[in-house]
Amino acid sequence: MFKIFLFFISIFFSLVSFGQFNDSTHHHFSFASSGTINRTQETSSYVLTNAAGYEVNKKRIGFNAGASWIYGRQDQKLSNNDVSFSSNLDYLKNVQKLYYWALLNFDESYSLKINYRVQSGIGLGYTFVNNPALNLVVSDGFLYETSDLTDPVLGKDVYQTVRNSFRVKYKWSFKNTVILQGTNFIQPSLLSLKDYILKFNNQLSVKLNKWLSINAAMDYNKISRTNRKNLLITYGIAVDKYF
């Protein structure tokens, strides 16, 4: 229950923090939930996925925060209990192509053997294309990471490292009805190229009206240090509201 509380309270605090912005500020709230249940005579499994996000943009500054929780069981055994919180601040992104960013992330994942992971960092981004039909942004920077992992051989692994974080973010829209978008990260450690993180999130949405859509998403994560990866394909209903 504590993780569920953190999941929703993080979005609440984001809303409160930016409630003082004037009417020229653009806000965006999104929420998606999906689940899969599979039961046969021999096996049973289910996965529940929830994700929420909040974004606010002024002329020079943009802020977004997100949280996700994935819970699953396979044959009465826990397979997923993965919680993620992220926040990102962009400066000058809405007024010029080259901009600055800073981020703070927290992860806890049973499937990836992450007891906890905290990342903070800064860097530069560049907007190659930005129009109603297509948005393409590439960014790069450095992260300081402190983690508590479970190594498959050594067991508990508490460490700190500095990573390069390369991101490609895109959004393609067809008549604002069919939307394909994604955010994809490659994060190698500067201390060892064998220590890297891959995070790919891509989704397809078909709008039913201005705020409701059918959504399909693919998430892939890999951590070389624990030799763990997961792939999750979901579909369901998503709420997407601008105000």
Higher per-residue confidence, 195 vs 35: 195
- Distances from the Cα of 127 to the Cα of 66, 119, 157, angstroms: 22, 24, 38
Q: Is the dihedral of CA 89, 136, 98, 19 positive or negative?
A: negative
pLDDT of residue 162: 96
Average pLDDT over residues 220-226: 93
- Look up residue 1 and give its DSSP letter: -
pLDDT band at 24 (very low <50, low <70, confident <90, very high): low
User: Is residue 58 over pLDDT 70?
Assistant: yes
pLDDT band at 1 (very low <50, low <70, confident <90, very high): very low
Question: How many beta carbons lie within 10 A of that of residue 30, not counting itself?
Answer: 19
Cα–Cα distance measured from residue 193 to residue 188, given in angstroms and rounded to the nearest whole number:
6
Q: Where are the alpha helices (DSSP H) in the chain?
A: 2-17
User: Is residue 18 over pLDDT 70?
Assistant: no
- Give percent above pLDDT 70 in the chain: 89
The per-residue pLDDT for range 128-150, each reduced to its tens digit, is 999 989 999 999 999 999 999 98
pLDDT band at 14 (very low <50, low <70, confident <90, very high): very low
User: Is residue 82 over pLDDT 60?
Assistant: yes
Q: Is the pTM of this model over 0.75?
A: yes
User: Is residue 11 over pLDDT 50?
Assistant: no
Average pLDDT over residues 77-89: 93
pLDDT of residue 183: 94
Domains and CATH numbers, the chain: 2-242 (2.40.160.40)
Per-chain mean pLDDT for the chain: 86
Which stretch of 125-129, 193-197, 206-210, 219-223 has the lowest confidence by average pLDDT?
A: 206-210
